[in-house]
Amino acid sequence: MSIEKVRPYLRALGMEERIREFDVSSATVELAAQAVGCEGARIAKTLSFAHEDGALLIVCAGDAKIDNSKFKHLFHHKATMLSPDQVEAFTGHQVGGVCPFAIEREDVTTYLDVSLRRFQTVYPAAGSSNSAVELGLDELERCARSAGWIDVCKGWQSPEDA
């Protein structure tokens, strides 16, 4: 179970005690928001894409969707999501519990989308389909070993901001 990889990873960063495990599923944004007790937008979902000979993880707000033209402009190829088997092979986490923590492969790069910047804290999964961890944005950036902040999502801005 990949939460067993995440637990010592976050322990080393002094954040293990923040992991919350639920008696119910948190495998989707909606379920995670219900389990945590927050709005869905504050769920930090981790999306997995093919990239060159590896993978990209993009952590974005729960109400955001990938903007294919922004993605292609930044990464110079179409946004192709990984299959569930590929997700597990690259991240060590199963779909529903994918998070940007305890990723041991060198060919996986993690980015944070600016859609998260609206919030003081967000809730990414902690490696299982019934877990989450509350982190500030600086903490998320450090824990995820982020390669940086990017803008590749749509659907989260108010109409006047878009």
Tens-place pLDDT, residues 87-110: 999 999 999 999 999 998 999 999
Is the whole model's pTM more than 0.85, yes or no?
Answer: yes
Has residue 67 got a pLDDT over 90? yes
Per-residue pLDDT reduced to its tens digit, 38-59: 999 999 999 999 998 899 999 9
Give the residue among 157, 130, 134, 146 at the shortest CA–CA distance from 10: 134
Give the pLDDT confidence score for residue 53 in this predicted structure.
87
The full set of domains in the chain, from first to last, is 3-154 (3.90.960.10)
In 67-144, alpha helices (H): 68-75, 84-91, 137-143
Percent of the chain with pLDDT over 70: 96
Give the pLDDT confidence score for residue 1 in this predicted structure.
54
Give the pLDDT confidence score for residue 159 in this predicted structure.
55
Give the pLDDT confidence score for residue 158 in this predicted structure.
60
- β-bridge mates for residue 104, sequence order: none
159 or 22: which leads in pLDDT:
22
Q: Work out the average pLDDT over 8-22.
A: 96
Element (H, E) at 154: strand 153-154
Per-residue pLDDT reduced to its tens digit, 110-156: 999 999 999 999 999 999 999 999 999 999 999 999 999 999 999 99
Query: Cα-atom radius of gyration of the chain, to the nearest Å?
Result: 15
3-state DSSP assignment of residue 35:
helix
What is the distance between the alpha carbons of residues 74 and 63, in angstroms, rounded to a whole number?
21
Has residue 2 got a pLDDT over 90? no
Give the pLDDT confidence score for residue 22 in this predicted structure.
97
Give the pLDDT confidence score for residue 39 in this predicted structure.
96
